[in-house]
Chains A and B, each alone.
Chain A
Amino acid sequence: MTASPWRLRAAATAALAAVAVLLALPTPRTAAPAAPAGPLTLTQAWPAARTVNLAATMPDGSRFFPSAVLDPGHLVGTVSTADGNHTDLVELAVADPTHPRILQGYDTAAGTSIDAVTAAGGRIYWMTSTPDDLGRPHTSLYRAEAAGGQPRDLTDDTGRPDYYGTRYDLQVADGRVYWIATRNVDPPTSELRSIAVDGGPVSVRPLDSAYALTAWPWLTSTPPLGQPLVQLNAVTGERRTIAPKPGEQLSCSPTWCRGTTSNATSTVITMRRLDGGGEVRVNTDGEGSATMDVAVLDRFELLAAPLGGPTPTSEGGQRATTSEKLTVYDLKTRRRVAVAVATAEGVHSPWLWWSTGDNETLTWHLLDLTTLK
């Protein structure tokens, strides 16, 4: 078999062309790691999400629980001894969590409690209550500079403060610290109290009904099932009335309302704007609201679903602690994003935090919601 030169050249030319084509092909893209099964996850939805993780167990076995975030590197919270008899309110550096700055120590066994904490403008404010010999709580409002120094007792003239478990219970606005106190029990009425951030006389403003603070300057009523909700602007006096749907429990921020309708087998949570627009169901069966705060940052609704059975620990064992699947519903994009399986969660806008692990493995994860872009 003898190859004729022209056939050989033609074959060589074809082979060279094939090589040229192969070499000219674009480099194949490497497949990204397979996405975990299930709903969209935090890093899938928001790759730039900023989280801060903090091992919460101190060398002596006491544990830290966050109350507020000063900045991504500094938190305010409580450190409770393992026996639960003593609690310190502390400021803690994330980079050095085992050496917190103690703001105040409390004998929790005697009934002292820290009821509300907030931080604003480089200052930390908190309320504590201590029962007297007759069991009547006496509440004080304190302030400390985040930069250091001794805490200061701003006032003991707090009235009977009401706490709803939101970041707004103690709120700093326009150079004053605001809180709601009970004025009358029957019929229930409230009073809006405030004091200048540097101290002074306490202002007491009687209200015509029972209110809670929401984003300043708005107050919101806490109506029973099926009753309208009233919002009151504390500055202008403007009043809004929002009607619920039949059988609906309403709670509202100044921009969004959360409607909760329950029956024996299910709970439906819908979100809608104050004017009724943009209504959407945000929960799935078995999910409830994770916090009292409605539409954090006017955008995120936080949901939690309890998980049945014991949860595996990082040590390979199991714990009986109730765990919850924490989900964020993004009202802007109308999508659900799985955040974590958590044992506890809290929110102090713009921060959402949750815990994982228990005992010596307890870890807090703090998510800056402003980074969910």
Chain B
Amino acid sequence: MVRRGAAQSVVLLLVGGTLLKIALAGTYVRYVKVGLRGYLVAAGAVLVAVALASLVHTLWTAGSRRAGHDHDVDDGHGHSHRGFDPSWLLVAPALALLLIAPPALGSYAAARGGTALAAGADSDYPPLPDGDPVRISVLDYADRAVFGKGHTLGRRAVTLSGFVMAGDHGHRYLARMVITCCAADARPVKVGLAGDLPPDAAPDAWLEVTGTYTAQTDTDPVNGQPIPYLAVTSARSIPAPAQPYES
């Protein structure tokens, strides 16, 4: 029991330390929304504190029990009951985060999820902010284009950023994953790119595109929802942003 307790404390320390590390290093944004950083830090700190306290307590009591001839539970045959401890499963995601650091969801996941639009058919949209072009999110553009029928977009030039997703028949989309809490609930929002892009815009490459609203739409083969298009006037490659998800 003493050894198990010590091992669980170490596992807990690893999990807590991993949470602290990804929260402080900023890579947590690949897995949860930005606003959860404080909760991650707090949770990681609590886990680390509990793990250290538990470990100290375990080692301390081990010495005391030794002095009092305490021992692990024995089965009468000289063996301790030590079946598989499920807490070891926590080591797997911790090691994955520390050794692999999986990237944010990209075109592979986006191609397998139906485009997710947020508004209803009767949505009213405020005018676009100032700017020429005006920078808006992929989700905002898609909502205004589909549910607002482009009325608030007009002929304004807008700039969107996202990753490239290849579709059928050579169509290419600009996509962005939208999350409510974390990557587990991520859903893609897709905008078709009218007017071909430079041909080397490979899937998962991040682009910043500027263009104007066009009434052209497509149908997402995954969920049958409409995918609006943007008439692209310029495009440039950009590095993957620090915050890959929209929310």
B234 contacts A53, C-beta separation under 8 Å: yes
* Interface residues contributed by chain A, number (CB under 8 Å): 54
Q: Is B198 an interface residue (CB 8 A)?
A: yes
Q: Does B189 contact A (CB under 8 A)?
A: no
Say whether B202 faces chain A, with CB atoms less than 8 Å apart: yes
A interface: dominant SS: mixed
Q: Are B203 and A33 in contact (CB under 8 A)?
A: yes
Q: Is the CB of B198 within 8 A of A340?
A: yes
- How far apart sit A25 and B96, CA to CA, in the bound complex (Å)? 12
With both chains docked as a complex, state the minimum distance between the C-beta of B175 and any C-beta of chain A, in angstroms: 13
Q: Does B155 contact A (CB under 8 A)?
A: yes
Q: How many residues of B contact A (CB 8 A)?
A: 63
Contact of A55 among B2, B100, B205, B231 (CB under 8 A): B231
Task: Determine if B217 is an interface residue (Cβ-Cβ < 8 Å).
Answer: no
Given contacts A50-B236, A53-B232, A95-B157, 7 further A-B contacts (CB under 8 A): A12-B58, A35-B202, A41-B199, A43-B237, A51-B235, A341-B199, A363-B196
CB-nearest residue of chain B to A12: B6
The yes or no answer to B220 lying at the interface (CB within 8 A) is: no
- Residue A225 at the B interface, CB < 8 A? no
Residues in chain B near residue A22, CB distance under 8 A: 14, 17, 94-95, 98-99
User: With A and B bound together, what is the CA distance between A153 and B148 in angstroms?
Assistant: 48
Tell whether, in the assembled complex, residue A316 and residue B233 are in contact, meaning their CB atoms are under 8 Å apart: no
With the chains together, A1 CA to B199 CA distance in Å?
67
In the complex, which residues of chain B have a beta carbon less than 8 angstroms from the beta carbon of A357?
A: 195-196
Does A30 contact B103, Cβ atoms closer than 8 Å?
Answer: yes
- With A27-B25, A47-B237, A314-B196: A8-B6 Cβ-Cβ less than 8 Å: yes
* A41 and B200 form a contact (CB under 8 A): yes
Question: Taking the complex as formed, is A34 at the interface, i.e. its CB lies under 8 A from any CB of chain B?
Answer: yes
Given A53-B234, A315-B169, residue A33 in contact with residue B204 (CB < 8 A): yes
A54 within 8 A of B: yes
Q: Judge if B13 is at the interface, Cβ distance under 8 Å.
A: yes
Q: How far is the CB of B173 from chain A (nearest CB, A)?
A: 12
On B, residues with C-beta under 8 Å from A are 2-3, 6-7, 9-10, 13-14, 17-18, 21, 25, 27, 55, 58-59, 62-63, 66, 71-72, 74, 78-80, 94-95, 98-101, 103, 106, 132-133, 155, 157, 168-171, 194-205, 211-212, 231-237, 240
Which A residues are within 8 Å of any B CB, using their own CB?
Answer: 1-5, 8-9, 11-12, 15-16, 19, 22-23, 25, 27-28, 30-31, 33-36, 41-44, 47-55, 72, 94-96, 312-316, 338-341, 356-357, 361, 363, 365
Decide: A5 and B63 in contact? CB cutoff 8 A: yes
CB-CB under 8 A for A49 and B236, given A5-B63, A22-B14: yes
A316 touches B170 (CB 8 A): yes
Provide a sorted-by-A list of 9 A–B residue pairs whose CB atoms are within 8 angstroms: A3-B62, A12-B10, A12-B59, A31-B103, A33-B106, A44-B200, A312-B169, A314-B169, A340-B199
- Residues of chain A within 8 A of B103, CB atoms compared: 30-31
List 8 tightest A-B contacts by C-beta distance, closest first.
A41-B200, A316-B169, A33-B204, A363-B195, A30-B103, A15-B10, A356-B196, A2-B71
A74 to chain B, nearest CB (A): 12
Q: Report Cα–Cα, A19/B95, bound state, in Å.
A: 10
List the B side residues contacting A36 at CB < 8 Å.
200, 202
Q: Indicate if the CB atoms of B17 and A365 lie closer than 8 Å.
A: no
Residue with the highest number of chain A CB atoms closer than 10 Å, among B18, B101, B200, B204: B200
A96 smallest CB distance to B (angstroms)? 6
B98 touches A3 (CB 8 A): no
